[in-house]
Each structure stands twice: as structure tokens, then as C-alpha cells.
Structure 1
Amino acid sequence: MTDSTTDDPRADDPRAAPGKALLSLCARRLLAHGPSARRALRLLPPQLYPVLFQAAFQDGRTLVLQDLVATWPFPLLSFRDLLGQRFPQERSHKSCIQAVISAVVELLRRELEDSFLACLEVAKHQSQHRERGSKRRKGPSSLSPAPLPVEIRADLFVNATSFPILREALGISPSSLLLLKCRDFHAEELPAAGTAALLGSLDPSGLRRVELRFNNLGMAGLGLILPQLSHFQDLLSLQLPYSNLDLRRPLPGLDAAIRCLAAHLGKLPRLKELNLDSSRLSGKLRQLFSDLESPLESLQLAFCSLLPSDLTFLSQSLHAPALRKLDLSGHHLNENLLQPLQLLLEEASASLLHLDLMECHLTDTRLEVLLPTLCRCSRLRCLGLFGNPLSTPGLQSLLRRTGVLRDLRLVVYPYPLECYIQDPTSGHPVEVDEERLAAVGAELSRMLGSSGRAGTLWTTSLCPHGALNYLTP
């Protein structure tokens, strides 16, 4: 279930709009007849089911939705195709979504019960055949094949609320009769054991993305989950932000635990994207990445307490020349880290598309040191610098110097120092002067326009701006 737009080529055809509107109106009038309309569903041609589904969803007719699912005449029921841009976000449609899910589960329950009974019948015949065969010792007779498992395809977003529902749905029949295929799996605030159990219930083929956010896994939790992940040989993206992983303290058995984590990461041959934001990895990157045999193309290590040795390792690794996205936000880029960062950017300069250095204590002076290397990243499209103490002249210099980056389309810049209102007692900045900020933004826009870069967006907004997809389709 997604909110993606439809691929129907007629979606933007104005000639199709009147016909669609009339058909939708007729469907809503039909459904307004209540029980009699529901009884007539089986008499209607299959072509009308999609428009009836859309009308029932928009009008909140949950019973009709359940009847439509129960008699659905097509092999695929997709919210994406049925609702497209009209996919609702309002809470008022929650009951409709629940009705569809309940109807699907009920339909599966009936089909699986039938399949289970068929399995028992086959087993009975097999048992009788073995008994007869043990007496006659003749060759095996032909038996009906066992029923095929029911295949469910879904991208899953699971949290503490939906976990019990999903666990119950997955337990409605023997596991051999239920095959759950998933491309994207996202879990938030779940215990490690529950997450591991869900991952263990998925079909190993086809899973591309796993994101486990705010799950407080720690070393022990990752030790439960990573062995499950090693079964997913198609996995491209592994997101483990805010996992409470701390490798800084020299605890007994830490090196062995890191080697175990590294070994499991090494069992993901197609892994291209790794997010370990807010893990404390000081000095441990070399060990943690030691078994990765394919280069990572997207690496997010924000607020990871990295040391110069970590950045030096990355600059010398197989990953540097392949990096398309790099996030090192939250690191204090003083003189100790600035030099290895320059080496890393040099190695990644031919491939890097997206660089985030937010809240990195970048002053005007340090940015001037970094700019020559930054401007050699010739394919750079997105640059994040929010939260750094830069002045208006520093931003203007950045704008002029990055004019050589012809692909640069987005820069998220910080509030300039001059735009802060300071507390008269402490001298600390307390709020932003919106008028000053607007004036700076207008001047930067004027500079972009005069240099022929009006299509480049310079903004202080941290809202998503259509982030690039770094994974192959």
C-alpha cells in the first residue's frame, strides 16, 4: 500500500475526464442503495470493480469494500493503481484501510483453511498408500500435488501498535502455506526479538530495503537481527539509525562482538547503502567494514563520533571511489578531522552526488580551507550545511566559488550569524531575525540569477526536497 502516483497514461488526458467523472457518479449512486447494491456485485462485469472500489473508499463504505475484496475478480489489488494521487491521508479513511486489510486477512484465512484441509487429505492418502505399499511393496502411485502456498506481497511499516496485528495475521495458518514477500521493511520502536521474528517470517528473495529506526538495539539486539538479515541476498539498503550502538567503551568481548557484526554485514553481497547515524563508532570503522567485499554507494554516519583514523580508513577503502551519498553531519571539523575529510572527498570527487556536513562547526575560515576540494566534486547535486556558524560573507563566497559545480541544484545553508538576535545578558543567540534572514535569502537569489543559476535552490528549510534514489530499481 503506497501513495505513489498511477502509471495510467490516460490520467492526464482531458478527454477522459468527463467519462471518468460520469462513471464515478454512477458508481456512487449505485452504492447508495446499500444492501441491494452489495447483493448485485457478483452480477456486475469485472471492469466496474476498480471504480466501485474508488467510490466506496471515498464515501467510507466499509461493508462494500469488504464485499469487493471478497469477490475481487483480478489477481492483484493495489492501492497505488486504484487510488493513485488520490490516496487519502485523512484519519477519516482509517476505517476503510482497516476494512480492506480485515477482508484480505479473512479471505486468506478461508483459502488457507481450505488448503490446510487439502494438505490433511493428501497426507491421509499418502499414509494409506504407505500402508498398502508396505504390504505389496509396489512402486509409488500418483498422488495429487500438495497445494501451493498463498503469496502475499506488501511493503511493511511496523511499529508497537501494528506489530500485534501483523503477528496475529502471520500466525493464521501453518507457515508452509503463507509466503510473505516484501521489498521494503520498516520497523520503529520494536524489541529486537520481535523484529527478528518478523524478518524470519519474510521470504528471503526480493527484499531490498530494511530500516530499523528508534529500536534501541544495542550490540545485543544487532546480534539477534543481523543473522536474520544474512538470509536476504538481494538486500541493497540497511538503515540502522538511533540503534544505541556504542563501540567506544573497552568492554570484555567487544572485539569479538564487532568481528561477529562485521561477518554478518559481509554476508550481504549486494549491499550498497548503509545508515548507522548516531552510533558511537570511534576508531572502529576498519573493523566493522572489514568483511564488506562490494563498495558502498551511500554511507550515512551522522553523529557517530568518528576519529581522524576512521576518515583516513574510508579515504583508502574500496568505498571512497564509489560513494554517491555521504553524510558526516554532527562531527566537529577541526584541523584534526578537516585534513582526512579532504582526502576522502578527493577520492570520492568523481562519483559524489550528495554531501551532508550539517552541524559540523564549520566556520568561514574552515570552509575556505575545504572549498578547493569541495569544488572538485564535479557531479555534486546536493550540499547540506545547515547548523554551521557561517556569516553572510561566508555564504556569498560559497555561492560564488561553487559556480563551477554545474550539477549543483540544492544547498541547505545555515542561518547566517548576523541574523541571530542575542540575549543582552549572556550574549548567546536566542532567536532569528526573520527580516534579516529574508534579506540574506533575497541577496543570495539575486546572485544566483545574475550568475545564470536561477534553477538552483538555496534554502534554510530542512524539509525533504525530493532526495535522490541511490539504489538501482
Structure 2
Amino acid sequence: MSIYNPPTLQQLAMQGLLKNESLAISSLDCMPIMLFPPLFKEASEGRHTKILKAMVAAWPFHCLPVGVLMMTPEVETLQAVLDGIDMLLTQKVSPHRRWKLQVLDLRNVHQNFWDVWTGREKGVHSEDSGSEKQVVKSLHRHALRQPLKVVTDLSLCFHLQEHQTCLLQWAQQRNGTVQLCCVKMEISDFPVETIREVLDIFWPHYIEELEIITTKILPFPNSFAPCLGQMRNLHKCHLSLNAFFMDSSAIEMSLHKFLTQFSKLNSLQHLYLNGIYFSTENVKQLCRCLKTPLESLSITLHLSQSDLKQLSQCPRLCQVKFLLLSHIELSTSRPTGLRVLLENVADSLQTLELEHCSLENSHLSVFLPALSQCSQLTRVNFSDNDFSSTAVKNLLQCMANLNQLAVQLYPAPLECYDNPCNILMDRFAHLCLELQGIVMAKREPKTMAFATTICIECCQSCVYDIETKLCPCWQ
């Protein structure tokens, strides 16, 4: 026997309004505030652009978090929302309603706002609801005052997409009446000259997260440096400048002006530098220019012994929680720089990634005492290093005393190979089971795995956690 659930009066009212656009638009002045969010959501899902346009202009809250309703970029819906902003800015709305909209949020955030107002979560449907307060509170950096703010995230990859062009052209034409604020910006292989044009539309001090991937390393730092220096609220910076085959002296000169801008970033907390050739002078300059203590530092490719020494002497790296160093060059000498760096961050370090560092037994014996003092560690990764089974045993005995450690990734011992490219599978499984027992004798590890070197045929590794998982070439 089926149970009939009749629609509520609110649902019936919304259905009637959506079927009669003229009635819906003319009713906005006297519509109860509690009907605005559910009606707006229904109009967005049904692509009732005329109703959306009118509702934006009459929106009774400080913030309209519309981005979560447009998960898939829809130019028609976006244009309707922007047209509603134009109506509001030109005051082509009824004088009987005092409009409150001050922030249009195009990011995929604030789902709770719609859940509360559409009845999916319990909440108080009033103008001062907790959901509305939370939305406004989370935008405290975007002060609620004129001009109206349009908040977005921007991902530029190869070329502008249609909805991005629509938004940027609209904002460019309304410079002075609208502030286009990008909180998170991602740029990947985008023309340098176009990047400058795009950045001129945004207010750079609103950018909090920046990720750049480019092969245009020589023109890019010089053209982008002034923009970076204006991002005073930037707290996360991720730069991947792929320059493997370029002259190192030219790169060093190009990076000099770029790195100088870091002295203006007073909010920086997370720094990721990938694929960049750093001379020792560049490393010194970076350490001098850092103005705030970092929580995260990631550097991959080309770090020498002297570079590590410079990093270990940088006062801004004593509170690091996340440390990733890859492809560092330690040769056969004692890695005192790495040891001192670990000693400096022993009280704060939570994640340590030393993958692809060509670490050897002699290196491990130098920094292992410092590593044993990192009591806050929750994750370590030593994959793709050259340790014997004895060295791995010493490392595991050290790790077994770190009670907060949840994820442990280790290299397969050298004894698992009869040459650099051939794995002895039986020995691999036997040794890994024995090594795993060292930790299990003291506590039950949550995630613990051993991985072989990457197969040159399939670019994958054989992994042992509870059992052996072979790469496709060995299956």
C-alpha cells in the first residue's frame, strides 16, 4: 500500500509562481522572505531566467551564494544573475523594497544556506537566521559595503571558457561599481599577456590561494611579479615552473625579481615550489624575503647540500607542519642541513615527505635521531630511496615510538632486487612481512606500505601492505 504525501502549501505556491512568470515577478515586493531561497533554487533548477533576474535585484539578504546552485557552468543562468545585478545597480527595482544584497558569491560554498531555507535542515526561517549570519560571517574579509562584491574562484587552463569570458567582460565594463574578488585562482599554461589582462580586472588583495603551472619561465616571473606583490592576503602559493632544459643562469636572473615580491606577502603560510631550478643565491633570497612563519613548505627538484643548510637557518621555517622535499642532492656527504631542519621543526612537524631523494644508509643514520624527536608526526613517506633492510629496520624502530603516526610509506629494501630493474618477488614479500612485524610488535599501524621503484614499462610500483600488489608488468 503506497503512502500519498500531498504537497505543502509552500510547494503549491511556488509551483504556481513558476508557471506564471509575470505573477512571480510582480509578487516579489510582498513575498515573505522565507520563500525567496526555495523559490530561487527552484527557478535556478528550472532555468526560469526572467524570475532569477528579478529575484537577484530584490534579494532580501546581504549575500547570495548562487555558485553552489551552478555546479556545471551555465552561461544562460549566469547571465540572468548578472542582469539582475545590473537591475539592482541601476535601481530599476521597486522603491518599496530596501535591497540588501552586497555580496554575490559564485563559489561552490555555503550549501548550508540552501539546505536550511529549503527545509533540508532544521533552522529558523527569519531574516536574521543562523544560516544567513554564517554566510556573512564567512565573508568577513569582504567587508559589507559598496561597491557590490562579486566573489568567485577562477581556474584558467589553456584558454578562457565561455562562462569565464561572460563574467570577466561584465566585470570589466562595470569597474568602479562592482568589485570582482577572486579567493582561489588557478592558472595552468595560460598566455602570459592574457593573465595580466585578467588580473587587472580583479582586486589582487582578495586573492588568498594562488596556483600557477607554466613553462613560460623566462617571461612569466618578470611580467607577473608586480601582481604577486599586491596579493597582500595571499596565504597559499603553489608555483610549478617547468624549466628542465633552460639555461640555469637565465632562470636565476628571471627568478630574482619574482622572489623579491615575497617580502610583501605578510599572510603567506603555505608555499609549494615545484620543478624550479633554485641556485643557492635564489634560496638565500627566498629565506630573506619570507616575512611570516610557514606552516607548509614543498620544494621538488634541485636542492643541494648548501641549499638545505640555508633552509635550516631560516627563522621562518621553525613552525612547519608539512614538509616535502623531493629530488634533493645529498651525494655521499653527511646531510647536516636536513638534520638541523628536522630538529628545528620537531615540535610542529606533522607530515614529512622525503620521496625520490636518493637517500642512503649513511644519510639516514645522520638525521634519524632528529626524526625520533618529531612527536607530532602523523604521516611519513620515504618511498623511492636506497635503504638496506638493516637501515629500514632502524627507521621502523624509530617510527614505532611515534604514537600519532597514522600513515607510513617506505621503500622496498635493496635486498629485494638482483639488479636495479628486477624485483625478487618472494624476497620482497618475505622482507616486508618481517619489517611490518617490527611496528606491530609495539602497536597496530593504521596504514603502512612498502613500495618498489617505479617500473620503467608501466610507471607503477609493486606495493606491499597487507599483501603484495603487483604492478601490471608483474601480474
TM bracket (short chain): 0.5 to 0.7
Q: Which residue of 2 aligns with 1:104?
A: 81
Structure 1 window deviating more from structure 2 (65-74 vs 290-299): it is: 65-74
The one-letter code of the counterpart of 1:381 is T
Deviation at 1:282, TM superposition (A): 3.0
The amino acid of 2:447's aligned partner reads: L
Please give the residue correspondences for 1:381-420 in structure 2 after superposition, counting only pairs within 5 Å.
381-390=378-387, 394-415=391-412
Q: Distance in 2 between matches of 1:161 and 1:46?
A: 41
Secondary structure, aligned partner of 2:327: coil
CA distance in 2, matches of 1:25, 1:413: 62
Match runs of 1:221-240 below 5 Å: 221-240=220-239
| Structure that is richer in strand per residue | 2
Tell me by how many angstroms 1:257 deviates: 4.5
2:63 to 53, 76, 79: 76
Q: 2:149 is matched with which residue?
A: 151
Q: CA–CA distance in 2 between the matches of 1:452 and 1:186?
A: 42
The 8 Å contact of residues 326 and 354 in structure 1, kept in 2 or not, is answered as yes
8 Å Cα contact 2:55-2:84 kept in structure 1: no
Query: Mapping of 1:338-417 within 5 angstroms?
Result: 338-364=335-361, 366-390=363-387, 394-415=391-412
Identity of aligned residues (%): 23
Match of 1:331? 328
Q: In the alignment, what sits opposite 2:275? A: 278
Conserved? CA contact 1:49–1:68, under 8 Å: no
Q: Which amino acid aligns with 1:216?
A: T
| Equivalent AA in structure 1 for residue 149 of structure 2 | E
Q: Which amino acid aligns with 1:108?
A: I
Deviation of 1:356 (Å): 1.1
Q: Report the equivalent of 1:64.
A: 48
CA distance in 1, matches of 2:10, 2:411: 54
Deviations 1:244-274 (A, max 9, x none): 38896334xx776544223222121222222
Give matches, 1:245-264, under 5 Å.
Answer: 249-251=248-250, 257-264=254-261
| Cα distance change of structure 1 residues 308 and 444 upon mapping to structure 2, 3 Å threshold | closer
8 Å contact kept, 1:300–1:328: yes
**153-162 vs 224-233, greater mean Cα deviation:** 153-162
Unaligned runs of 5+ in 2: 93-144, 452-459, 461-475
SS of the residue aligned with 1:349? coil
Q: Which residue matches 1:197?
A: 197
Give the direction of change, closer, same or farther, for the CA distance of 1:50–1:168 in structure 2 (3 Å limit).
closer
SS at structure 1 position matched to 2:300 = coil
Instruction: Count how many residue pairs are aligned between Structure 1 and Structure 2.
Output: 387
Note closer, same or farther for the CA distance 1:30–1:385 as it changes in structure 2 (3 Å cut). Answer: same
Change in Cα spacing, 1:238 to 1:158, as seen in structure 2 (3 Å) is same
- Superposed CA deviations along residues 54-73 of structure 1, whole A, max 9, x for unmatched, are 6677xxx4523774464253
Which shifted more, 229-238 or 346-355? 346-355
Q: Secondary structure at the match of 1:63?
A: coil
SS at match of 1:266: helix
- CA RMSD of the aligned region, Å? 4.1
Q: Distance in 1 between matches of 2:6 and 2:196?
A: 49
- Change beyond 3 A, Cα 1:340–1:390: same
Aligned partners of 1:241 and 1:276 also within 8 Å? yes
Whole-angstrom CA distance in 2 between matches of 1:111 and 1:243: 46
Give the direction of change, closer, same or farther, for the CA distance of 1:326–1:110 in structure 2 (3 Å limit). same
Matched position secondary structure for 2:180: strand
Question: Which residue of the partner structure matches residue 458 of structure 1?
Answer: 448
1:195 is displaced (CA, Å) by 2.1
Find the aligned partners of 1:282 and 1:248 in 2 and give their Cα distance.
Answer: 12
CA distance in 1, matches of 2:400, 2:8: 52
Which position in structure 2 is the counterpart of 1:186? 186
Q: Distance in 1 between matches of 2:430 and 2:75?
A: 49
CA contact (8 A) 2:43 2:49 kept: yes
Higher helix share: 1
Q: 1:287 to 1:67 in 2, by over 3 A?
A: same
TM-score, scaled to structure 2: 0.68
